Amino acid sequence: MKKIVFLIVVGLIFNGLIAKGEEPSAYRYDNSAFRSISDISGLNIATPVIIDALISFDANSNREVVVVEKPGGKVIPSLLLSSQREVKVSTSDSLGSGNANYLTDGKKDNYVEYPIFENGLAEEVEIHFDFGGPISLSALSFQLDGHVALPKAIEITVGRENDRRIVLARKNIGSHTIFFPETIGSEFFVKLSYIQPLRIREIDFGFSENDFKSIDHLRFLAQPGKDYSVYYNADRYVEVNPGEYPNLTGDDGVRFLPELNPILNSAFVKADVDGDGVVDEDDNCVSVGNANQEDLDENGRGDACDDFDHDGIINSRDNCLNDPNNSQKDVDLDGEGDVCDGKESRLLQNQAWLPTVAILVVLILVGGLIIITIRKK
């Protein structure tokens, strides 16, 4: 009995140590994704209170916000009430993805993925936005998933399917936000050219250039005796799990604060998933390190993640760059696939001494047989 009790106690202690060592999901977030940080302190509250703080975003940033409790570092559920003009829009795309409305549903927890269908060639998708009536637009902004490069080029037209005019002639994309001359129309078509797989979480519209400089409302439930840090102006999507959300929409008992004063987040680092020194949004090969950005065929996709021989294996993993060999067969294990290994003897090419030894062994055996035969006679 004592042994059983002892084992139970040991088990509980062991589990407690494991639990203590694990970081709760509500504490995990990528604070290096945010350019700006603001502190909210000295609230002097006796009970939980909904805080409403004005917050503004840079034009070239994702509208992601993380509110962190101090002390402790716990992520707090928060709500962003946008002051941007809201309109109903029906969204579809030329690839018939079926979930194109995710692009304009106001949610950041889903995305539309546009894959690469033919290696070596740029792909195109045209996204159709139908506002159901005349509307004036002058800008749009992409919110991409993490570790995704910007599309290569964009073209915007307005009008009906068979009667369109150009709003923005095809141009290379160098920013998350695209401005164009203010245009009135009910249907807009955005054609994107991309050379790497593209995942878009949201597309926001600017009904005037000032819309992307608007001030929004950030809300969260503050606790007595706690201070808070607010991270925002992210350069990529950040996934957090803050737990159950309280009702933050009503105005009863809300304490309103002035606009947050941002300072530079010292932990901010632009996304570079492959660690090659080229940030993801500008990298011509996001998933494979290629600091030199070499692109021999000038197709916009770095050679390291291109597929010159179209065998379904990217160059950085292909043991024959120019000859299709999906099987990657390499009998002599010299790192060069059999289909492009031009040396005559794959078995012996890396063991120059082996033929000589083999000949000597044969001569010895033959000589031995001759001697045995002579002696028997």
pLDDT digits (tens, 9 = 90+) for 320-332: 888 888 888 888 7
**Domain termination residue (choose one: 256, 284, 307):** 307
Q: Same structural domain for residues 291 and 359?
A: no
Residue 145 CB neighbours (<10 A)? 19
**pLDDT-based confidence at residue 215 (cuts at 50, 70, 90):** confident
Percent of the chain whose predicted confidence (pLDDT) is above 70? 84
Domain limits for position 53? 24-83+214-264
Query: What does the alpha-carbon distance between residue 323 and residue 301 come to, in Å, rounded to a whole number?
Result: 19
* Whether residue 95 sits in one domain with residue 65: no
Residues 209 and 251 in one domain: no
d(CA 165, CA 172): 19
pLDDT tens sequence across 300-313? 788 888 888 888 78
Sign of CA dihedral 276, 292, 200, 81: positive
- Give, as one character, the DSSP assignment of residue 62: B
Q: What is the pLDDT of residues 9-20, one digit of tens each?
A: 445 444 554 444
CA–CA dist 308, 255 (Å, integer): 60
Both tokens assigned to 162: 């068979």
What value does the mean pLDDT take over residues 49-56?
Answer: 94
Considering the domain boundaries, does residue 343 fall inside one? yes
pLDDT at 345 over 70: no
- Tell which of 307, 328, 358 closes a domain: 307
Whether 11 maps to a domain, the answer reads no
Average pLDDT value over all residues in the chain: 83
Residue 38 pLDDT more than 90?
Answer: yes
Q: So what's the pLDDT on residue 303? A: 86
pLDDT-derived band at 263 (thresholds 50, 70, 90) equals: very high
Task: Give the pLDDT confidence score for residue 9 in this predicted structure.
Answer: 45
Q: Are residues 98 and 181 located together in one domain of the fold?
A: yes
Asked if residue 51 and residue 155 are part of one domain, the reply reads no
User: DSSP letters of 163-216?
Assistant: EEEEEEEEEE--SSEEEEEEEEEEEEEEEEEESS-EEEEEEEEESSGGGGG-EE
Of 272-276, 317-321, 331-335, the poorest mean pLDDT is in 331-335
Does one domain contain both 247 and 356?
no
94 and 176 share a domain?
Answer: yes
% pLDDT > 90, the chain: 38
Phi, psi torsion values for 372, nearest 5 degrees: -60, -40
Same domain, 130 and 188: yes
Name the domain count of the chain: 4
Q: Report phi then psi at 353, rounded to 5.
A: -75, -20
Residue found by looking up tokens 């706690």 in the block? 226
Asked whether residue 313 is assigned to any structural domain, the reply reads no
Q: How far apart are CA 284 and CA 196, in angstroms?
A: 8
Higher pLDDT, 105 or 100: 100
Please report whether residue 71 resides in a domain: yes
CA distance 177 to 150: 11
Could you tell me which residue, 374 or 339, shows the higher pLDDT? Answer: 339
Band (pLDDT 50/70/90 cuts) for residue 144 is confident
Clarify whether residues 95 and 136 are in a common domain: yes
Which one has a higher pLDDT value, 355 or 67? Answer: 67
Higher pLDDT, 153 or 122: 153
Asked, for residue 314, whether it belongs to a domain, the answer is: no
In this structure, is residue 144 part of a structural domain? Answer: yes
In a domain, 116, yes or no: yes
Q: What is the CATH number of the domain that holds 116?
A: 2.60.120.260
What is the pTM assigned to this prediction? 0.64
Q: Are residues 139 and 208 in the same domain?
A: yes
Would you say residue 361 lies in a domain? yes
Nearest 5°: the CA angle 319, 287, 292 is: 75
Q: How far apart are CA 285 and CA 274, in angstroms?
A: 9
**Residue 71: cis peptide before it, omega within 30 degrees of 0:** yes
Identity at 40, one-letter amino acid code: I
Same domain, yes or no: 158 and 221: no
